[in-house]
Every structure is written in structure tokens, then in C-alpha cells.
Amino acid sequence: MDTIFIHDLRVETRVGVYAWEQDLAQTLRIDAELGLASSRAFETGALADAVDYAAVVAHVKAFASDHPHRLLERFAEALAQSILASFRAASVSLRVAKLGALPGVREIGVSIERTAPKTAR
């Protein structure tokens, strides 16, 4: 399957189970791969046949700023479902990491893969 990818996207959101985490925006690092439902963009070279990278980035940033979650796992799941519903993607893989969440650890996070229902493609 052909994919597009966005690596090292930094977004601000509120995520965490502790009270201080729910009140303070944190930076998340997101890597996303979208499985393309069609290879038409490779044939035509037309943006109308492609997934617009800039639109995906804007969507992820807006989602992060408007959707706080207690668990990083829930944030990742909700973001994956939002991407699948908003773009012509057959699948999405996300790696979502909190930066510096624990002393001595650069990043902690989750990695998920989700597939769009066949009727949504």
C-alpha cells in the first residue's frame, strides 16, 4: 500500500491523569502515516486526487488544541478515527509521544494502527 507520512509534528494539548497535567498544555510529538485508498495521484499528479499534507497537519493541530484527554491512548485513538473520517485514507498509523514526561526519559508514548471501514473509502 502507498502511504504519505508526516514525521516529528509538534502539537500542544492537555493530556494526563494528574490535575496539573489537565491544566497545563504539553507538547506531543506525532508521527503519522496514512495509507492511501487510491494511487490515482501518482498517475495524474493532481492535488485533487491526493491527500493534502498541509490539511492533515492543520487538522491534527486543531484536533490537539480542542480535544484534551486523560490518557494518551485515548487521544491517539480519537485522533486516528478523526483522520480516517476526514481524509481519503485506507488506514492510519500514529506514534504519539509525550516529551520529557519522566526524569531521564526523552519520550513516552503509544503507537497504533487503524483501518477505515471498507464503505468509508
- Here the CATH number for the domain that contains residue 73 is 3.30.1130.10
Q: With bands split at pLDDT 50, 70 and 90, how would you rate the model's confidence at 21?
A: low
Does the structure show a pLDDT above 70 at 121? no
Which residue segment(s) compose the domain that 53 sits in?
Answer: 3-120
Grid cell locating 89 = 485514507
- Residue among 33, 68, 63 nearest 51 (CA): 33
Options 98, 101, 103, 119, the catalytic residue: 98
3-state secondary structure of 31: strand
Q: Give the integer Cα–Cα distance in Å for 76 and 116.
A: 15
What is the structure's pLDDT at 4? Answer: 94
Mean pLDDT of 42-71: 92
49's CB contacts (< 8 A; 6+ apart) are 38, 40, 41, 43
Q: With bands split at pLDDT 50, 70 and 90, how would you rate the model's confidence at 120?
A: low
Q: Give pLDDT tens digits for 60-119.
A: 999 999 988 888 999 999 999 999 999 989 999 999 999 877 788 888 999 999 999 876
DSSP structure class, residue 119:
G
Q: Give the integer Cα–Cα distance in Å for 35 and 83.
A: 11
98 as an active site residue: the answer is yes
pTM of the model: 0.89
How many distinct structural domains can be found in the chain? Answer: 1
